[in-house]
Amino acid sequence: MSYPVAFGCVSVLRPAEHRWGGLVRALVYLGPGSAELQDRPAARRTHDDDVVVEIVGTGVCGTDRKILLGRFPARPGTVLGHESVGVVRETGPQVRSVAVGDRVVVNPTLYCGWCVPCRRGATNFCRHKAGTEVGVDRDGTYAEAVTLPERFVERVPAGLPFRSAVLIEPLACVLNNVEAASVTCGDSVVVLGAGPIGMLTALVAGRLARRVIVAEQDGYRLERAREHFAHVVDVAGTDPAEALAKSWGDDRPSVVFDTTGTGLGAALRLIDDGGRVVVMGFDDAYSVPLHPLQLTNRGIRLIGAGDYRADIFPVAVDLAAELGGPRRPGSGTGTLLDRLVTHEFPLERYSEAFTALGGLVRSDGHSGDDAHGEDGEDSGAVVPRYDALKVVIRSHSGPFGDDGWPVDA
Ligand SMILES: [Zn+2]
Ligand SMILES: [Zn+2]
């Protein structure tokens, strides 16, 4: 897959006072297939509850790739990026929960707080989202700094490295979906797809369920999944439903999460009667016939969870601290959160970051277009090939700690 985006020029570390008083570097979306690094006026406070965050790193999300390919709508002129961590550099006079110098994570799912869905707690379905989606139609975090209201900036717990904290936002998405599935200790869970979202889903569901099986068809991701999970099934070139039935016989899953965006058909064949199918990945090009009788007779619940609600984000922060905090002696070579981040690139090399994920090859050997969900699955003659899990674009130029990540200056 090639991204028709141009390289920016190499940045020189500018003096701090210049960065905050003048221009900051940012990756700006120009239109389908096109983005460039620009010098933008530095993020400034305009409201008393604003917080200016110097961005340290931002995870590359499937949505970002889709935006660049013109398959997900975004507003031209917007700075891309939304899964990010950084350090507070300025606060408005009303800000109480964070202070200058705090390590923080950005919650990019903004809401108004006063519309009907917001007032009943469903902030994920806020009616005033237009113009507030960070990295989509409001300036995002592939930049040196971002300004957001205080309630969308959370402190990163002490001991949780930035490198792991960058996964808090994807973890919030996963918690929302696992909660929507009401997973309990009696459940047998199948997760289709072992990308970052699939792996996090297996991790979270695995804390609750009796058993979790991960199904993947890409060699690289199978290998990574086997490092962390006991039950991993290779579904390359086969119907996942058949491959899993072969491994597990009559013990069909009571919950299936499809993180690929193209696995709903397989999930419906796979799920046990009375089970729940959760649709997480998305792929506009994929559709599947749905027979109502299939749902009514077999008592299957089909679940879509939307964005996460505001109350889920702090839970994701705590869970990340639990999963990615300081290691106990003898606990192996790193937490799953830490090891999910497989590649890092400075902002100037954003184009490499977008291609590092891997790409699609047609079965005739030519490179293909992106035609699958966030975590990918075979879609017709196009076969995804992955070389990475979570890729991070780093905006910060130092100083760096032992883990190679910036520490607060
Ligand atoms: Zn994302
Ligand atoms: Zn609202």
State residue 386's pLDDT score.
81
Closest ligand by atom to 116 CA: 2
Element (H, E) at 391: strand 390-394
Which pair of tokens denotes residue 292?
A: 């109502």
Ligand 2 centroid–CA 97 distance in Å is 22
Interhelix angle 196-206/219-228, rounded to 10 degrees, is 20
Question: Strand, helix or coil at 189?
Answer: strand
Largest alpha-carbon pair distance within the chain?
67
pLDDT tens readout for residues 301-321: 999 999 999 999 999 999 999
Element (H, E) at 58: strand 50-59
Ligand 2 centroid–CA 110 distance in Å is 9
**Domains of the chain, CATH where assigned:** 16-169+308-364+386-394 (3.90.180.10), 180-303 (3.40.50.720)
Q: Is residue 373 pLDDT above 50, yes or no?
A: no
Closest ligand by atom to 72 CA: 1
Ligand 2 centroid–CA 121 distance in Å is 9
State residue 128's pLDDT score.
95
Ligand 2 centroid–CA 48 distance in Å is 20
Ligand 1 centroid–CA 81 distance in Å is 8
Ligand 1 centroid–CA 197 distance in Å is 9
Closest ligand by atom to 128 CA: 2
Q: How, if at all, do strands 382-386 and 358-362 pair?
A: antiparallel
pLDDT tens readout for residues 14-66: 444 445 557 889 999 999 889 999 999 887 889 999 999 999 999 999 889 88
Ligand 2 centroid–CA 314 distance in Å is 19
CB contact at 8 A, 220 and 387: yes
Ligand 1 centroid–CA 291 distance in Å is 31
pLDDT tens readout for residues 205-248: 999 999 999 999 999 999 999 999 999 999 998 988 889 888 88
- 402 by Cβ neighbours in 10 Å (0-12 / 13-18 / 19+) ranks as exposed
CB contact at 8 A, 29 and 68: yes
Q: How, if at all, do strands 103-106 and 50-59 pair?
A: unpaired
Closest ligand by atom to 120 CA: 2
Tokens 């869905």 belong to residue: 117
Ligand 1 centroid–CA 273 distance in Å is 32
Closest ligand by atom to 174 CA: 1
Confidence label for 122 from pLDDT (cuts 50, 70 and 90)? very high
CB contact at 8 A, 5 and 36: yes
pTM to 2 decimals?
0.87
For every residue of 317-350, which 3-state class applies, written as one string?
Answer: HHHHHHHHCCCCCCCCCCCHHHHHEEEEEEHHHH
Closest ligand by atom to 200 CA: 1
Closest ligand by atom to 117 CA: 2
Tokens 């619940």 belong to residue: 301
Ligand 2 centroid–CA 147 distance in Å is 20
Closest ligand by atom to 307 CA: 1
Ligand 2 centroid–CA 14 distance in Å is 39
Closest ligand by atom to 129 CA: 2
pLDDT tens readout for residues 325-346: 666 555 556 688 888 999 999 9
Ligand 1 centroid–CA 62 distance in Å is 7
